[in-house]
């Protein structure tokens, strides 16, 4: 136990004090945490993840360690990053749209982007998916919704990694596209119907609450784990802020949203992946950023550190 140096005197648990402060133990690779983390998993627990690039790291690690990570549509390149062909979902709006088209309804006014050749189409809400025709796209999307439902109704643990607050939305109906790029924009598509803006605390919280409501309705026993992705913005579309400050704003906003969201629900938990990367690795004297052209990503050693602590949190016998 650590003793406070101010009045009134108070005894803190080890995980309540900053590692290495005063006479407290130094950081040793075991992230400080409360003894009870809310739930337990084993290798047979069906788990899924959705979100930014870090969701892909979670998937790879759990599969390599022999855990039951749910995989659907694995022949589709958009499934590389998650449990189904959701592609990368960098914001809570995209996540909400997935839950809507899986369990409710999602009918944007412009559903498919036509390519310049007049035949092929692209899914604006899943950035790498191209189809030879609209008919092929609509038939495959029916199958995708079925796969998405299977994952979201089977999972007993669903991990959401929150990435950023910058969005591009349709001016007509408010639907949020994956990214303002791809063949549509590169081949002269009209982007004027979309506007860029920075989403704020309340609307991101409302998105998570909406997701929670649908998950409780269709899979009430699922534990929801929320993280903030430690992968920074590669670039910002903001004109009033530099990329580093914009990235910090995104992460700070989403961290506050996650705290409020978790506080309101028993089966919702926060896992501090962002803190492990950006703060705890520094206390260990380690760098967390990758080298080379993608130095906004976390390095492999940091991924291993984060995921090893994930298992210590939720499957301690495996650690």
CATH of the domain at 121: 3.40.50.1110
**Is residue 123 one of the residues assigned to a domain?**
yes
**Is residue 104 one of the residues assigned to a domain?**
yes
pLDDT by position in tens, the chain (length 319): 555 566 567 788 889 999 999 888 999 999 998 877 889 999 999 999 999 888 889 999 999 999 999 999 999 988 999 999 999 999 999 999 999 999 999 999 999 998 888 889 999 999 878 999 999 999 999 999 999 999 999 999 999 999 999 999 999 999 999 888 777 777 777 789 999 999 999 999 999 999 999 999 999 999 999 999 999 999 999 999 999 999 999 999 999 999 999 999 999 999 999 999 999 999 999 999 999 999 999 999 999 999 999 999 999 876 5
Tokens of 27: 């950081």
| The pLDDT value given to residue 11 | 84
**Is residue 34 one of the residues assigned to a domain?**
no
**Is residue 32 one of the residues assigned to a domain?**
no
Whether 176 contacts 168, CB under 8 Å: yes
In the three-class reduction of DSSP (H, G, I as helix; E, B as strand; rest coil), residue 76 is classed as coil
Tokens of 210: 């909406």
**Is residue 17 one of the residues assigned to a domain?**
no
Residue with tokens 């590389």: 80
Q: Count the domains in the chain.
A: 1
Write the DSSP assignment of 83-148 as a string of letters: SSTT----SHHHHHHHHHHHHS----SS-SEEPTTSS-EE-TTSTT-EESSHHHHHHHHHHHHHHH
Q: Within a 10 A sphere around the Cβ of 178, how many other Cβ atoms?
A: 23
Work out the end-to-end distance of the chain between its first and last CA atoms, rounded to an integer number of angstroms.
Answer: 24
Which residue range is the domain that position 312 belongs to? 40-318
**Is residue 168 one of the residues assigned to a domain?**
yes
**Is residue 21 one of the residues assigned to a domain?**
no
In sequence order, which residues have a C-beta less than 8 Å from that of residue 17 and are 6 or more positions away? 2, 24
| The pLDDT value given to residue 128 | 72
| The pLDDT value given to residue 8 | 61
| The pLDDT value given to residue 132 | 94
**Is residue 8 one of the residues assigned to a domain?**
no
């Amino acid at each position: 136990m650590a003793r406070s140096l101010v009045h009134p005197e108070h005894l803190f648990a080890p995980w309540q004090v900053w590692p290495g402060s005063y006479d407290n133990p130094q950081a040793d690779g075991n992230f400080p945490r409360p003894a009870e983390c809310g739930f337990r998993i084993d290798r047979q627990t069906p788990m899924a993840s959705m979100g930014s690039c870090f969701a892909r790291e979670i998937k790879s690690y759990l599969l390599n360690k022999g855990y039951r990570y749910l995989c659907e549509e694995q022949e589709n390149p958009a499934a590389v990053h998650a449990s189904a062909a959701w592609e990368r979902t960098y914001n809570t709006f995209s996540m909400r749209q997935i839950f809507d088209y899986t369990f409710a309804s999602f009918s944007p006014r412009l559903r498919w982007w036509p390519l310049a050749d007049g035949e092929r189409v692209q899914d604006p809400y899943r950035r790498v998916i191209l189809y030879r025709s609209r008919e092929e796209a609509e038939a495959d999307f029916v199958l995708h919704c079925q796969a998405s439902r299977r994952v979201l109704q089977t999972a007993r643990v669903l991990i959401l990694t929150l990435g950023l607050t910058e969005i591009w939305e349709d001016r007509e109906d408010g639907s949020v596209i994956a990214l303002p790029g791809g063949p549509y924009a590169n081949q002269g598509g009209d982007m004027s119907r979309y506007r860029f803006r920075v989403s704020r605390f309340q609307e991101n919280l409302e998105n998570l609450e909406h997701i929670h409501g649908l998950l409780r309705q269709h899979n009430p026993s699922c534990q929801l784990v929320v993280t903030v992705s430690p992968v920074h913005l590669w670039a910002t579309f903001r004109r009033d802020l530099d990329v580093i400050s914009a990235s910090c704003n995104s992460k700070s906003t989403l961290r506050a949203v996650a705290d409020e969201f978790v506080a309101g629900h028993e089966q919702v938990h926060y896992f501090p992946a962002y803190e492990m990367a950006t703060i705890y690795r520094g206390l260990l004297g380690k760098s967390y950023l990758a080298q080379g052209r993608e130095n906004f990503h976390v390095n492999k050693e940091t991924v291993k550190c984060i995921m090893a602590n994930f298992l210590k949190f939720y499957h301690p016998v495996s650690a």
